[in-house]
């Protein structure tokens, strides 16, 4: 299929895990260019070698000047950015009484400030171009909470709030804004967790397995495509029916 044919896309946190799954799916669906932003230069180089339409760029999404410089560079290549996926995210998990201020700041800066800075940089170009799509990575824990993840949950709940605000603000400019809330996904990092932890994840998932990165990528492709042309302000859970708890 060619649901992304001719599209210029930007995926933050695109070098590995869910981000790489999104990049690969966009490329497979015919994207003209997929910019993969990440801090891991080696992983980006490997991605470029593997997928011809991908171009990697080392960008700290929490640095406003760096984001603005990248957007100017990306726009100079083809004159537009059609799709922005705010996927970059980190965790610094701890119980609230043990969570440090520096760990809180790190998570909020990447997971919440990052999407704000990227959207702020891209939106003027999308408006001038007549429209576009912004897709934000939330999480099932942003909807339901999770033990020991105060900062991560706060950031992912905040992403949902920003998604709904931007959908209201930008719809009149032809820009759709939605969020995806993944459940437990079998990325390389997750699969390195202790077996007991993985078993717990699976036990809380009615479909009885971890999700695959490409399954999250498929959700993003659908939301970015014309098939979802009347969808904005939505939060799409891709979680196997996960039930969270302590």
Residue 220, H or E segment: helix 213-224
Q: Quickly tell me which residue has 């996927």 as its tokens.
A: 87
Separation between Cα atoms, residue 31 and residue 224, nearest integer Å: 11
Separation between Cα atoms, residue 13 and residue 40, nearest integer Å: 9
Ordered strands of the 33-38 beta sheet: 54-58, 33-38, 8-12, 83-86, 132-137, 175-182, 235-238
On the 0-12 / 13-18 / 19+ scale of CB atoms within 10 A, 122 is buried
Q: Of these residues, 144, 152, 220, 230, which one is catalytic? A: 152
Question: What DSSP designation does 216 have?
Answer: H
Separation between Cα atoms, residue 33 and residue 70, nearest integer Å: 14
Catalytic residue at 144? no
Q: β-strands 132-137, 83-86: how paired? A: parallel
Residue 236 token pair: 């799409």
Separation between Cα atoms, residue 185 and residue 207, nearest integer Å: 12
Catalytic residue numbers, as ranges = 152
């Amino acid at each position: 299929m060619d649901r992304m044919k001719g599209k210029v896309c930007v995926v933050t946190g695109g070098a590995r895990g869910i981000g790489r799954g999104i990049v690969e799916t966009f490329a497979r669906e015919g994207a003209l260019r997929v910019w993969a932003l990440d801090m891991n230069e080696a992983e980006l180089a490997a991605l470029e070698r593997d997928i011809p339409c991908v171009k990697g760029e080392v960008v700290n999404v929490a640095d406003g000047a760096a984001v603005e410089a990248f957007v100017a560079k990306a726009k100079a290549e083809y004159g537009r950015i059609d799709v922005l996926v705010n996927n970059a995210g980190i965790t610094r998990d701890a119980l609230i009484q043990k969570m440090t201020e520096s760990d809180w700041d790190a998570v909020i800066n990447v997971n919440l400030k990052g999407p704000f800075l990227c959207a702020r940089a891209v939106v003027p170009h999308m408006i001038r171009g007549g429209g576009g799509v912004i897709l934000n990575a939330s999480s099932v824990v942003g909807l339901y909470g999770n033990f020991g993840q105060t900062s991560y949950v706060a950031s992912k709940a905040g992403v949902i709030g920003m998604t709904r605000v931007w959908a209201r603000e930008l719809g009149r400019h032809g820009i759709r804004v939605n969020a995806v809330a993944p459940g437990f996904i079998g990325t390389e990092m997750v699969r390195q967790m202790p077996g007991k932890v993985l078993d717990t994840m699976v036990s809380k998932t009615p479909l009885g397995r971890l999700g695959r990165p490409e399954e999250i990528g498929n959700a993003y492709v659908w939301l970015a495509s014309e098939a979802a042309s009347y969808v904005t302000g939505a939060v799409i859970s891709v979680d196997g029916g996960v039930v969270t708890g302590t």
